[in-house]
């Protein structure tokens, strides 16, 4: 059992994103966005965060006790820079034609488009 301890002021939530809001019952709900089942209520935003801290620490303890890996936040994972995407055949064809006209590979064209979209957000 996890001992009731106070949440450190500078706790980084292991890289997970926190969402906190006042629900329809006028209680504050805090949860880890990437792990929505890890959540807690409180009368105030701070109380909800304190309870979320206890819930998350308790979940990590359960993972350890069960010999399971503790989930890693997407912001803390290592990425290879490669992934596969399934798209409509017509889009695939149009992109291939565009890449050929530009004299670059389809991969390079898609990477440029993704980078451009990412920068614009």
If we measure between CA atoms, which residue out of 81, 82, 112 comes closest to residue 95? Answer: 112
Q: For 19-58, what is each residue's pLDDT tens digit?
A: 999 999 999 999 999 999 999 999 999 999 999 999 999 9
Q: For 59-108, what is each residue's pLDDT tens digit?
A: 999 999 999 999 999 999 999 999 999 999 999 999 999 999 999 999 99
Query: Do the Cβ atoms of 20 and 45 come closer than 8 Å?
Result: yes
Domain extents in the chain:
13-74, 82-119
As given in the structure block, the two tokens for residue 105 are 């590979």
pTM for this predicted structure: 0.72
Query: What is the distance of C-alpha 35 from the center of its chain?
Result: 8
pLDDT band of residue 117 (cuts 50, 70, 90) is confident
Q: Does domain 82-119 have CATH number 1.10.1220?
A: yes
pLDDT at 11 over 70: yes
If we measure between CA atoms, which residue out of 81, 87, 120 comes closest to residue 95? Answer: 87
pLDDT band of residue 1 (cuts 50, 70, 90) is low
Query: Do the Cβ atoms of 68 and 24 come closer than 8 Å?
Result: no
Q: Does domain 13-74 have CATH number 3.40.640.10?
A: no
Query: Do the Cβ atoms of 32 and 16 come closer than 8 Å?
Result: yes
């Amino acid at each position: 059992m996890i001992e009731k301890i106070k949440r450190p002021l500078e706790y980084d939530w292991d890289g997970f994103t926190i969402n906190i809001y006042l629900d329809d019952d006028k209680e504050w709900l805090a949860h880890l966005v990437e792990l929505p089942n890890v959540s807690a209520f409180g009368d105030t935003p701070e109380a909800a965060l304190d309870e979320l801290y206890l819930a998350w620490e308790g979940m990590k303890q359960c993972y350890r006790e069960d010999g399971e890996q503790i989930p890693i936040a997407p912001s803390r994972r290592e990425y290879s820079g490669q992934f596969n995407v399934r798209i409509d055949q017509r889009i695939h064809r149009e992109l291939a034609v565009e890449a050929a006209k530009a004299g670059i590979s389809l991969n390079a064209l898609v990477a440029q488009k993704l980078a451009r979209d990412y920068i614009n957000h």
